[in-house]
Amino acid sequence: MRPEEVLERLKTQRIETPSWGYGNSGTRFKTFPAPGAARNVWEKIEDAAEVHRLTGIAPSIALHIPWDRTEDWERLKRFAEERGLRIGAINPNLFQEEEYKLGSLAHPDRKVRDKAVAHVLECIEIMRATGSRDLSLWLADGTNYAGQDHLRARKHRLREALERVYAALPAHGRLLLEYKFFEPGFYFTDLSDWGTAYAHCLGLGERAQVLVDLGHHAQATNIEAIVAFLLDEGRLGGFHFNARRYADDDLIVGTTNPFELFCIYTELVQAEEDPDPEVRRTAQEVAYMIDQSHNIEPKLEAMLYSVLNCQEAYAKALLVDYVALHQAQAQGAVLEAHRILMEGFRADVRPLLREFREGLGLPVDPIQAHRNSGYLQRVSAERGTASAGGGFPS
Ligand code: LRH
Ligand code: MN
Ligand code: MN
């Protein structure tokens, strides 16, 4: 693609940031309080708006309920809109209450399943009130020992609960089903991989789609191949971008795995240009979300870094000559095809991205602009180092 076209396409890119990345929360170990971290959902929205102001491509924020609960959703929606943001995915929390010891939607006891479903239905009401399109569901359901529970019975319970949730979605709402290969269950996980999530989605209906979190796979899993398959089947609903080296590390996107991120984006770019309109539509509706939490790094800067790394990966993927690539593939020219792909990865897109930002009146170096802006000093003075009143407990 020519640089002028790349600049146009970059204008269409959107990355959603997670409310839980802005507060002092996020680890099983010590939570090191960051000065100025957001203390409540209003401050998280302010921080997300700052990330959007500096990058121009992060206009929505995902919420986690009850961490981000408020009495007045209309007001919250307006508050976000006044700051140029909209409310993105709503994430129910089915993993922090006493009753969920043996699971939530797959729990052996119907009363517990009913409680879990009721919470998700409440989240669907929040979707309606905030104008959110996506319900983003991750379950901690699983078991620790062989024989602990009946695996197929768990599958039936989970499907039945998901059917109740699916039936309650708003007309254009989507259920994004997130999988994770282990943790907190160490023997068995009810939604452990993309195949399981995909099978449930097929059973539910078209608006049930798979969510791919980059931290939720076994080592060496080829995530771009999963992305390609789901795109082609019309079932890739969204991403939780982050980086990891060992397990679900939730680090800044593209830090340990920039090549993987690039390869994922090449699949998306090819799908955006696919001759099949269904594949193009699926690609256009993918929810690009970040799911990371910070423990030692400054939170806003970490989020900016992630958004910018997604932008860089997309720009590199756009630069690949796919016509030449597909020709080389058809000829079986193994290393020529690989070389053509690598041209994109090796390209230095920094001048192009500077041009992109200049064209939109954005700071050419958003991280430096943030450091110079005084925002962190101001919020540190106002907010101190309080906990976010939510998030993962330490
Ligand atoms: C747990 C997890 C998952 C969810 C998030 C809220 O693994 O990181 O990725 O999306 O918590
Ligand atoms: Mn996730
Ligand atoms: Mn995770």
Domain-located, residue 367: no
Task: Determine the distance separating the centroid of ligand 2 and the alpha carbon of 229, expressed in angstroms.
Answer: 20
Question: What percentage of the chain carries pLDDT values higher than 70?
Answer: 98
Tens of pLDDT along 73-120? 999 999 999 999 999 999 999 999 999 999 999 999 999 999 999 999
Domain-located, residue 229: yes
- What is the Cα–Cα distance from 86 to 78, expressed in whole angstroms? 9
What is the per-residue pLDDT for 391? 52
The set of protein residues with a Cβ atom below 6 angstroms from ligand 1 is 91, 138, 178, 180, 213, 240, 248, 291
Closest approach atom of ligand 1 to CA 91: 6
Tens of pLDDT along 354-376? 999 999 999 999 999 999 999 99
Task: Determine the distance separating the centroid of ligand 3 and the alpha carbon of 306, expressed in angstroms.
Answer: 16
Mean pLDDT, residues 297-310 taken together: 97
Domain-located, residue 16: yes
The 8-class DSSP code of residue 20 comes to G
Question: What percentage of the chain carries pLDDT values higher than 90?
Answer: 93
> Best of 16, 213, 241 to mutate for ligand 1, by most ligand atoms within 8 A of CB?
213
What domain range is 122 assigned to? 12-320
Closest approach atom of ligand 1 to CA 392: 11
- What is the Cα–Cα distance from 126 to 187, expressed in whole angstroms? 34
Q: If we measure between CA atoms, which residue out of 337, 233, 260, 318 comes closest to residue 13? A: 318
Q: Using an 8 Å Cβ cutoff, are 102 and 187 in contact?
A: no
Q: If we measure between CA atoms, which residue out of 28, 3, 32, 29 comes closest to residue 387? A: 32
Domain-located, residue 325: no
Task: Determine the distance separating the centroid of ligand 3 and the alpha carbon of 180, expressed in angstroms.
Answer: 7
Residue 296 CB neighbours (<10 A): 9
Task: Determine the distance separating the centroid of ligand 2 and the alpha carbon of 32, expressed in angstroms.
Answer: 21
pLDDT greater than 50 at residue 380: yes
What is the per-residue pLDDT for 386? 76
Tens of pLDDT along 174-218? 999 999 999 999 999 999 999 999 999 999 999 999 999 999 999
Domain-located, residue 363: no
**Which residue has a Cα nearest atom 3 of ligand 1?**
138
Here the CATH number for the domain that contains residue 129 is 3.20.20.150
Q: Using an 8 Å Cβ cutoff, are 31 and 6 in contact?
A: no
Q: What is the mean pLDDT of the chain?
A: 96
Closest approach atom of ligand 1 to CA 248: 7
Structurally, the chain folds into a number of domains equal to 1
What is the per-residue pLDDT for 118? 98
Domain-located, residue 32: yes
pLDDT greater than 60 at residue 246: yes
Query: Structure pTM?
Result: 0.97
Task: Determine the distance separating the centroid of ligand 2 and the alpha carbon of 65, expressed in angstroms.
Answer: 14
Residue 258 CB neighbours (<10 A): 16
What is the per-residue pLDDT for 165? 99
Closest approach atom of ligand 1 to CA 250: 8
What ligand is nearest to the CA atom of residue 239? Answer: 2
Tens of pLDDT along 328-357? 999 999 999 999 999 999 999 999 999 999
Q: Detail the DSSP E strand segments found in the chain.
A: 16-18, 60-65, 86-92, 134-137, 142-143, 174-178, 188-189, 208-213, 236-241, 287-290
What is the per-residue pLDDT for 390? 54
Closest approach atom of ligand 1 to CA 215: 9
- What is the Cα–Cα distance from 212 to 223, expressed in whole angstroms? 8
Mean pLDDT, residues 249-253 taken together: 97
Q: If we measure between CA atoms, which residue out of 239, 285, 231, 308 comes closest to residue 62? A: 239
What is the per-residue pLDDT for 393? 40
> Best of 176, 248, 249 to mutate for ligand 1, by most ligand atoms within 8 A of CB?
248
389 band by pLDDT with thresholds 50, 70 and 90: low
Domain-located, residue 162: yes
Tens of pLDDT along 20-72? 999 987 677 888 999 999 999 999 999 999 999 999 999 999 999 999 999 99
Domain-located, residue 197: yes
pLDDT greater than 80 at residue 392: no
